[in-house]
Structure formats: structure tokens, C-alpha cells
Amino acid sequence: MGGAMRHTGGEREPLEIAIPALALVVVICRERATAQRFAACHFSPDEIVQVEAESQAPAAFEAARLAISRRLSAGLLTVALIESDTSELSAALARVAHHHDVSPVALALGRGLSLARFPLSSRNYAGAWALATPAQWEAARIVRQPLACDLRAERGPCDIIGDVHGCADELHDLLRALGYLAGADGVWRHTEARRAVFVGDLVDRGPGVIAAARLVMAMVAAGEAFCAPGNHDIKLMRALEGRHVYVAHGLQESLDQIAALPIDEREQFKRDFVAFIRQIPPYLWLDGGALVVAHAGLPERYHGRISERVRTLAFYGETTGWEDEYGHPERVDWAADYHGAAAVVYGHTPHRDAIWRNNTINVDTGCVHGGRLTAARWPEREVVSVNARREYAHRAGGLR
């Protein structure tokens, strides 16, 4: 959807309005009966909630807010019908949506309604459309788009591979151990139609950043793999876009390897990598919802949702604000209290061993630090690892 602000053109011009499959849809129309008819054409009765302005009917507003919250909490698309396009009401509804990590979108029916009340930003509305006339209302078609993370139709089997960090040789070793072979086109494919899933952090620290990234990008493009972005991938993407980033934690190794490429090849790699990281979902929700792959893990209440908070947790995890004796961030051990129905496979923090715990497993076994490169086979829940050929980056305190 990309934050659409849309006014229709001709009276009979068909307008396809793409909204997230999980969203708060705010329909603003000064004629209640018209709004109700429009909503009834596009949504089921249980999805629709009439909302009064809080300033005019506090009790009614609170009842509607609670009804909306219950539905969004349950992961159900909800439609809020309003007659007042005040900034206060639109902001209040946006807060309810964002509290539940759901995107709000707005539809304005009738002339003279201002979409400026629904500003587009990550903290406000993800999309807004104006339908001025009855002909345009009738021509509109609402399309519910699955969230980018929603890959529940992808059933597996698969092999979920931990943080590569430029260890291209070890990635080759692990893929062979798992039963993958490189084709004439350079794409690695499994001999029994399994697919690879990468938890991110393809880059930084190791000597084969470009080879590792190219291998994964080629597998994903060929439909042989999926990939979630890691925090190192996000940071390199930003650096390649020319944004200011703090060069540390192995980023310089990536930048140096890219700079050593011939100029045409270098610019092509930069374009390819930026486009790749921008297009892949912030995490992966797979196998009918039975499997979640997120770089830093993800508590159950965020499964099937996308928001700035969810992205931050998936990329970086949550920290206590303290550091250990070696200067590493002290991370919140969310998996210790996890009892969700979906298995969660993640990486981000290197450990000596990959062990299933509370239906979660951390497959970052510190290959770049001289440990191992590890994969969790799904649905078998088996662990396959190969040893690092050497230590490429020292980790204070070693692996735990």
C-alpha cells in the first residue's frame, strides 16, 4: 500500500483500495445511513463499529473503543464508522490501532471532507482515500492484502539457518550437509525439495560478505529460500543508501569488501542488496502459523502483526539498558517465559549450543566467532551444524 493518499479521478473510474488484512479501517461520512450502506457492501456486520466523538458522547465513545480493542487484540479487521473528521477523533482511533500493532487506514465518503485529518506516517495513518460521489463509492473495490510477514501458506519442510555474518565457506559446508547442491545457474537447491530459511545477519565481520549475500539473494529470487533481515543487514542497507550510521561491530569489513569490487559490479551489488533488504518481510510467519522466524525472536502477542514496535523487536530484540562485564548489551530473555503455539526460531545473540527451549530455538552458534553455523530442520526439529573454519572476529568472553 505504501502510504497512499488517494482522490479518485472520473465519476466511474474503478478504484481498487488495498488495505491490510489486519487493519483498523476508519470510514468518515457525515451521513450515517450512507456510511452504513457503504460498509455493509464491503465488510461483514460483525466487523463494523459505530463511533461517536468522545467530546459529544464520552460513554458511547468508550464503549466503541473497547469493542474495537477487543477485535484488534483478537487479530480481527475492524471498521470504525465516524461522522466527525476532527483531528482529535482520528488521532484517538490511530492510538487504539497502534496500541495493538495494527495499521489504521481511512476512507472519506462525500465532498468537503479533509484527508488532512488523517496524516500519513508510521505513527498515524498508513493510507487514506477520498470517494467524493455515489458513483465512486459504487466503483470502489476493497482488496484485503495479507501482511508481508504472512507466509502461512508456505508449509515446508525447510532448514532454518542461523547468523551467517559473511562466513560464505561455512555456508557452503552447511548447505551440503543439509542436502543442497549448487546448480549450473549458481542457485543452491535441495535434492528433496526442501527450502532454506535465513534468520538474517548475512553480513559484517566475516570475509565472504558479498558471496554470502549473493548466494542468499539468488536462492530467494529463485524461490528456493526465504530470509528475514537482521540488524546488521539493516545497518549495511542504510550505509549503502548514504545515511549516517555508526561504523562498528563489523560494518567496516562489509564496506571494505564492497569497496574492493570493480565500480560497475560494486554499484550493482549495492542496488541489489538495498532492494533485497527493503523487500523482504521484517519476520516470517510460516506453516499455517506454526512457525515464526524472526532475527531477534518475537513474543507471541506480536505474531501476525507489523508495526514499528514489531519491527524493532524482530530486528534488535529488547534490552535491559545494561551491559554485561564484557560490554555486550544485556538482553531480555523473552524465551524464558514463552509458551506460544507457534515455534519461534531466531538468532542475533551467539550461544555455544542451539537447544530447543519453550518451543523456541536460537540458531546463532557464533560461526564468525569460531563456533559453528547451525540450522534447525523443520518440522523435524533436528539441529545440524558445521564447524567454523577459523575465528574471524573475536568475541569478548567467548560463547556461552
pTM of the model: 0.92
The pLDDT value recorded for residue 343 is 98
Position 9 scores a pLDDT of 46
Q: What is the mean pLDDT of the chain?
A: 92
pLDDT digits (tens, 9 = 90+) for 4-13: 555 444 455 6
Q: For the chain, where are the alpha helices, taking DSSP H only?
A: 32-42, 58-73, 87-99, 134-139, 168-178, 209-221, 231-240, 251-259, 263-279, 308-316
Q: Which residues pair with 338 in a beta bridge?
A: none
DSSP string computed for 340-351: -SSEEEE-SS--
Q: What is the pLDDT of residues 150-190, one digit of tens each?
A: 999 999 899 999 999 999 999 999 999 999 999 999 999 99
Report the CATH fold assignment for 5-145: Rossmann fold (3.40.50)
pLDDT for 288-327, tens place per residue?
A: 999 999 999 999 999 999 999 999 999 999 887 787 777 7
What's the whole-number mean pLDDT along residues 52-76? 94
Q: How many Å separate Cα 45 from the centre of its chain? A: 30
Q: CATH number of the domain at 150-387, out of 1.10.3720.10, 3.80.10.10, 3.60.21.10, 3.40.50.150?
A: 3.60.21.10
pLDDT digits (tens, 9 = 90+) for 66-105: 999 999 999 999 999 999 878 889 999 999 999 999 999 9
Calpha distance 360→293 (Å, rounded):
10
Q: What residues does each domain of the chain span?
A: 5-145, 150-387
How confident is the model at residue 121, as a pLDDT?
77
Are 394 and 372 spatial neighbours (Cβ–Cβ below 8 Å)?
no
Each residue of 237-264: pLDDT tens digit?
999 999 988 888 889 999 999 999 999 9
pLDDT at res. 12: 53
Quote the pLDDT of residue 114. 76
Euclidean distance between CA atoms 40 and 38, whole angstroms: 5
Predicted pLDDT of residue 2: 42
Task: Tell me whether domains 5-145 and 150-387 share a fold.
Answer: no
